[in-house]
Amino acid sequence: MSSPIQTFLGQHNLDGFLFVGDSICDADMYYLSRFLAGDRFALLAQEKTTLLVSSMETGRARKESIADECLSTSQYLIMEKLKRCEKPEEAYLQVLLEFLQGHGIKRLGVPFRFPAGIYQPLLQDIEISVLESPASRWREIKRQEELDAIACTQRACERAMRQAVRLIAGSTPRGEILYREGEPLTSEKVRGIIEVSLLEDGCEAFDTIVAGGTQAADPHARGTGPIAANAPIVIDIFPRSKSSRYFADMTRTVLKGEADPQVKEIYEAVLLAQTAGLQAIRAGATGREVHSCVSQVFLDQGYPEREGRGFIHSTGHGVGLDVHEKPSLSEIGEALQSSHVVTVEPGLYYPEIGGVRLEDLVVVKENGCENLTHFERQLVL
């Protein structure tokens, strides 16, 4: 029986598929090698996986990676080539070409993000097809150890959210902004306590959102300055574990002070839409169907979709080694499969009010979903 990579190569008439980059930024390279490196290396996927790394990294790669073979650029006389070439990149290209030819590569596949400066010179000697990385598809279905890692990061995410909610709950509305211990409570202060909590749990944060008042009308606004009183505050935390490299993702919207009836109605509509989305998820359903279900709830509640107002983004996305990966819960969402991990995060946004978003992280099951998010939904603190 052919392996997934053999099947892929056969379908596209390729001898191998090549990645060049670092595995901190490229989740596919980390997934295939489990070797974490900030320096550039090459990964060749054939029936076996082979890494080409610098001599400095060879020992670590052989110990830590799951690759079948780890080769050093020194085995291809990189230093001699450096002496002959005017530019280091020319020497590396010569090494890479010898490496590929030594592995019988005549027809090569590369991902869309492949470096153009390497792609063009290789074209002189090798036939190259630019394709979607097969690893991005393989990563969709999570193994049990991956599900456990995501759940562990989610617990850290919730502990950080708890710290943020407690900080806001302990603040006092004065006029139009919140105060804590005699000073304005800022987005930066709340974001800081979230990041400290995550660091203590071995996680790192990326652009955590703490956006209050009209700032939250932009779904990805990070939030700055004093936080508005009597207005919704969107808190979106999406940390990554430093050890497992897996992300989690969660959003809650809270308010300190008096909630305007219109804000309460918007919050209830988002809650209804999220509940409907969660109930629609199961293996075999499409991301398009889930998104349509959520959109219909908003329409029924009197919140039609309009440009720049209302429900202006997709219902959700996959989460794993990237915080945004396949599958998608959107107008183009494909069929969901068991062990997909996706967010369900409907929201409503209005420039004069702000925004409300609720986001849970779930595992797709045959007859529904398992919600990995164990955190209450409460608007007014």
46 and 5 in contact (C-beta within 8 Å)? Answer: yes
Predicted TM-score (pTM) of the model is 0.94
- When pLDDT is cut at 50, 70 and 90, the band that residue 176 belongs to is very high
Cα→Cα distances 347→120, 130, 315, 356, 357, Å: 44, 36, 8, 5, 4
Indicate if the pLDDT at residue 263 is higher than 90.
yes
pLDDT at 270: 98
What's the pLDDT at 306? Answer: 76
**Average pLDDT estimate for 80-106:** 93
Given a cut of 80, whether residue 290 has pLDDT beyond it is yes
Residue 193 Cα distances to 167, 177, 183, 197, 308, angstroms: 9, 19, 16, 6, 31
**Superfamily of domain covering 4-138:** Creatinase/prolidase N-terminal domain (3.40.350.10)
Residue 21 scores a pLDDT above 80: yes
Percentage above 70 pLDDT, the chain: 100
- Asked if residues 81 and 101 have their Cβ atoms less than 8 Å apart, the reply is no
**What pLDDT was estimated at residue 236?**
98
The class (CATH top level) of 144-371 is: alpha beta
Indicate the SS3 state at residue 197: helix
Mean pLDDT of 63-86: 93
Judge whether residue 305 has pLDDT over 90: no
Domain limits, CATH 3.40.350.10, in the chain: 4-138
Cβ partners under 8 Å of residue 131, min gap 6? 12, 17, 109, 110, 111, 112
Q: What is the mean pLDDT of the chain?
A: 96
User: For 202-234, what is each residue's pLDDT tens digit?
Assistant: 999 989 999 999 999 999 999 999 999 999 999
Largest interatomic CA distance in the chain: 74
Parts of the chain belonging to CATH 3.90.230.10: 144-371
| Confidence (pLDDT) at 86 | 80
